[in-house]
Amino acid sequence: MTASTSNPCLLRDDFIDSRNTQDRQLDAELASIRAYIQACVDATEKNLIRRINDSDAKNKQKMAYIRNQKLRNPKLPIAPVVSLRDGGLVQHEPTRFPEHANQFYALRRPDTTAKVHDETYTDEGEEDAATADKPSKLSLWDAVQTCPELAVDELESVLGLNKQNFIVPETARN
């Protein structure tokens, strides 16, 4: 018996070829769906991590700000404000950050290049935490060298320090 062209039945080999073609098409479609779902999960996870880091940074910034506002003793350590960068939270280098209020306010009159470097480092670290930075015509280095008092005043507001808290006990002792 030979197969005729008018036979409505599909031959076994043709059926298997048809099924294999359909299976490949379904596999490709399912693979693209899996890839899309994985991309959505990755994007959601990245967004969630970013939001958690934002929230964590804001919380740490507020806690440092509140702690610094309550400082009365100029020898107690200043809490540095964390920054949020693309790589996550950035803690400042403790050796370059002023240890206490006396060191911080001494930056108003930097007598050495090292102090100017420290103030520049502090400014760079804290500028991310500031909410409303005004665009400056001077570079950060030039601004710190020409008017360190203004740089310290800006940092004072970012860090939450209040010079009056330190002056009153100092004058009471004198």
Q: Global pTM?
A: 0.57
Q: Where are the domains of the chain?
A: 52-173
Nearest to 149 by CA among 118, 108, 105, 115: 108
According to the model, what pLDDT value does residue 48 have? 95
Residue range 84-97: average pLDDT?
77
What is the average pLDDT across 125-137? Answer: 49
| Percent of residues, the chain, with pLDDT higher than 90 | 23
pLDDT value, residue 134 = 46
Question: Is residue 118's pLDDT more than 70?
Answer: no
Convert the pLDDT of each residue in 61-74 to its tens digit. Answer: 899 889 888 888 88
Task: Supply angle C-alpha 48, 54, 57, rounded to 5.
Answer: 140
